[in-house]
Amino acid sequence: MRDQLKGRTIFITGAGGVLGSTYVRRMLAQGARIAASDLPGRRAEALQEAHAGNPDFRYYDLDVADEAQVSEIFARILKDGWQPNVVLNNAAITGELLMGAGQPFPDFADLKLADWEKTLRTNLTGPFMIARQMDRDIVGKWPVALINVASMYALNGAHHRIYDGMPFKNFSAYGVTKAGIHGLTVWLAGYWAARGATVNTIAPGAVFNGHSDEFQRRVGELIMLNRMAEPDEIADAMLFLASEQAGYMTGQLVNVDGGFSGW
Ligand SMILES: NC(=O)c1ccc[n+]([C@@H]2O[C@H](COP(=O)([O-])OP(=O)(O)OC[C@H]3O[C@@H](n4cnc5c(N)ncnc54)[C@H](O)[C@@H]3O)[C@@H](O)[C@H]2O)c1
């Protein structure tokens, strides 16, 4: 399909990450205009370099955990002349992100309240603040689609054994926030329906990002298709959710997990 996203202006948080940067590349190729955001740093710089000079790409620094920054984001985008009709709540503190930052994975008994609260603030309160700002600034003014991002570990428990001896683990606050985000989706879907806004959740499965052969084997056994996903395979579903073709879907959780949640 070509130009699947023509006429779509997509605002995306955490756009410099593994999946975010894939969505940006694929969405631009389908004719979308992208207002990308992330924390300042090397991921954001690489994203801006990759799309420098593309008139359909704009970049905004944004910490989704910062209420003052979130309160201004749509005003900034609108002031620059774009009207977002798709918002993608993609930013999150992930296990891989913590590993990259060299942070240790504590046992559950040793999890610091500050780390628990930081994860809730970023992964759940952040998307809430983005949605609340959408309500204030754009919902009801033109049709809008909000896509929240959960995980295969939102409504299923983590398989702790597959992380034995691995440099990263799944951490409790992550799954809790990913379960919570679908609660935000279904609450808002009904609340916004009369104002022409849809809200859905995508729940990606395990995405390959340089994981060891042993980890791939262990997680593969839990997945019907017996392998991890490529980022582009998650993007394939994301393109549909961001397109006009998803216009009659709202309040739904879309699993893109190779069958992990199916047995
Ligand atoms: N990769 C996977 O296997 C997988 C599986 C299921 C769900 N997900 C979800 O998909 C989304 C993207 O994941 P990813 O794999 O690209 O992760 P990633 O760690 O590569 O990217 C996350 C991005 O979020 C940004 N971020 C973190 N805190 C932020 C904050 N306070 N404000 C703004 N941006 C912030 C980071 O800078 C980073 O660019 C996340 O919501 C993640 O939970 C990923």
Token pair of 244, please? 């006009």
Query: Residues near 10 by Cβ (< 8 Å), separated by ≥ 6?
Result: 27, 32, 33, 34, 35, 84, 85, 86, 87, 88, 242
- Give the separation between CA 75 and CA 48, rounded to whole angstroms: 21
Q: Report the run of H or E that residue 196 belongs to, with start and end.
A: none
Q: Is 64 in the pocket of ligand 1 (CB under 6 A)?
A: yes
- Residue 231's alpha-carbon distances to 18, 49, 135, in angstroms, are 7, 20, 30
Q: What is the pLDDT of residue 1?
A: 72
The preferred substitution site among 73, 94, 208 for testing ligand 1, maximizing ligand atoms within 8 Å of CB, is 94
Quote the ligand 1 centre to 165 CA distance (angstroms).
23
* 119, 180 contact by CB (below 8 A): no
Query: Residues near 238 by Cβ (< 8 Å), separated by ≥ 6?
Result: 23, 26, 88, 147, 202
First and final CA of the chain: distance in angstroms? Answer: 32
* 10, 27 contact by CB (below 8 A): yes
Q: What is the pLDDT of residue 59?
A: 98
- Residue 179's alpha-carbon distances to 17, 113, 120, 123, 154, in angstroms, are 21, 19, 11, 11, 4
Q: Is 255 in the pocket of ligand 1 (CB under 6 A)?
A: no
Q: Which residues of 177-194 are buried (b: 16+ CB within 10 A; e: fewer)?
A: bbbbbbebbbebbeebee
- Give the separation between CA 177 and CA 35, rounded to whole angstroms: 25
| List of the chain residues with pLDDT < 70 | 96-104
Q: Is 67 in the pocket of ligand 1 (CB under 6 A)?
A: no
Q: Is 204 in the pocket of ligand 1 (CB under 6 A)?
A: yes
Quote the ligand 1 centre to 170 CA distance (angstroms).
14
Q: What is the pLDDT of residue 104?
A: 64
Which residue's CA lies nearest to atom 2 of ligand 1?
207
Q: Report the run of H or E that residue 153 belongs to, with start and end.
A: none
pTM score = 0.97
Query: Residues near 17 by Cβ (< 8 Å), separated by ≥ 6?
Result: 38, 43, 90, 91, 94, 97
- Give the separation between CA 201 and CA 254, rounded to whole angstroms: 6
Q: What is the pLDDT of residue 168?
A: 80
Task: From the CA of 63, give the closest atom in ligand 1.
Answer: 32
CATH topology classification for 9-262: Rossmann fold (3.40.50)
Task: From the CA of 97, give the closest atom in ligand 1.
Answer: 19
Q: Is 96 in the pocket of ligand 1 (CB under 6 A)?
A: yes
Q: Is 258 in the pocket of ligand 1 (CB under 6 A)?
A: no
